[in-house]
Homo-oligomer: A and B are copies of this chain.
Amino acid sequence: MPKTMTKSAQDYLKRIYELTECGLPASTNDLARELEIKPASVTGMIQKLAAEKPALVEYQKHQGVTLTPAGKRAALEVIRHHRLLETWLVQTLGYSWDEVHEEAERLEHVISEDFERRIAAALGNPTRDPHGELIPTEDLKMPVDDSTPLSALRPNQSATIQRVISQDPNLLRHLNSLGLTPGVQIEITDYSSFDNNLTVKVGRKSNVLGLNITTKIFVEIE
């Protein structure tokens, strides 16, 4: 593995991991948008990552990038740091799930492997972070997630919320106020085919949720 890894390289690899989870290469433009870096700069960094020995990304001009095994390991290392940190900020310092992302984004690059092991052990080797995202294992395998988007459910189905994919603090606070957080049981009571709204019952309260929300909540059907 490459001796040192800059914060920048780590952030690129992490984003490439996320963008290629669907199986397709990550495009320069998508990466640029996610990283908030101009496309020209992204091309430059991609070429550098591809030139490392061993290569961290597989790159062909105009065809996007994918991670090599070494790049994937590096990405999973950062993602493990990030998700353990978020979990730990929530559990031990009383952060709420909408406050942890930014902090973890900076800490993830500087903690030691020792620190990583200590917080993992202190938390009891958790498998999911506060948003329900799976935490890569210590040997850097990403567990498989078999959850379904809430948007795919229909009336009379029951489910448990597994994860919420959003880093938008406002949305997270909103969902929290509705009681829509990982672990919570829900039931679908209505569906409108016109706007794809779902009526979701949590406890004794019901809420009508649009696609913008239901595609971001993933559940396990019962």
Residues of A within 8 A of B (CB): 92-95, 99, 102-103, 106-107, 109-112, 114-115, 118-119, 122
Q: How many angstroms from the CA of A115 to the CA of B122 in the assembled complex? A: 19
- Which B residues touch A122, using CB under 8 A? 92-93
Q: Could you pull out 22 A-B pairs where Cβ atoms are within 8 angstroms?
A: A92-B92, A92-B122, A93-B115, A93-B118, A93-B119, A93-B122, A94-B118, A95-B118, A99-B114, A102-B112, A103-B111, A103-B112, A103-B114, A103-B115, A106-B110, A106-B111, A106-B112, A107-B107, A107-B110, A107-B111, A109-B110, A110-B110
Interface of A is mostly: helix
**Identical chains bound together, number:** 2
Closest to A110 in B: B106
Contacts of A118 in B (CB 8 A): 93-95
Residues of B within 8 A of A93 (CB): 115, 118-119, 122
Q: How far is the CB of A35 from chain B (nearest CB, A)?
A: 18
Besides the contacts A102-B112, A107-B107, A110-B110, what 17 more A-B pairs have beta carbons closer than 8 Å? A92-B92, A92-B122, A93-B115, A93-B118, A93-B119, A93-B122, A94-B118, A95-B118, A103-B111, A103-B112, A103-B114, A103-B115, A106-B110, A106-B112, A107-B110, A107-B111, A109-B110
Q: Which residue of B lies closest to A102 (CB)?
A: B112
A10 vs B92: C-alpha distance when bound (angstroms): 28
Smallest CB-CB separation from A105: which chain B residue?
B110
Chain B residues contacting A94 (CB-CB under 8 Å) are: 118
**A99: B residues at CB distance < 8 A:** 114
Q: Most B CB atoms within 10 A — which of A99, A109, A114?
A: A114
A106 to B109, CA, bound (A): 9
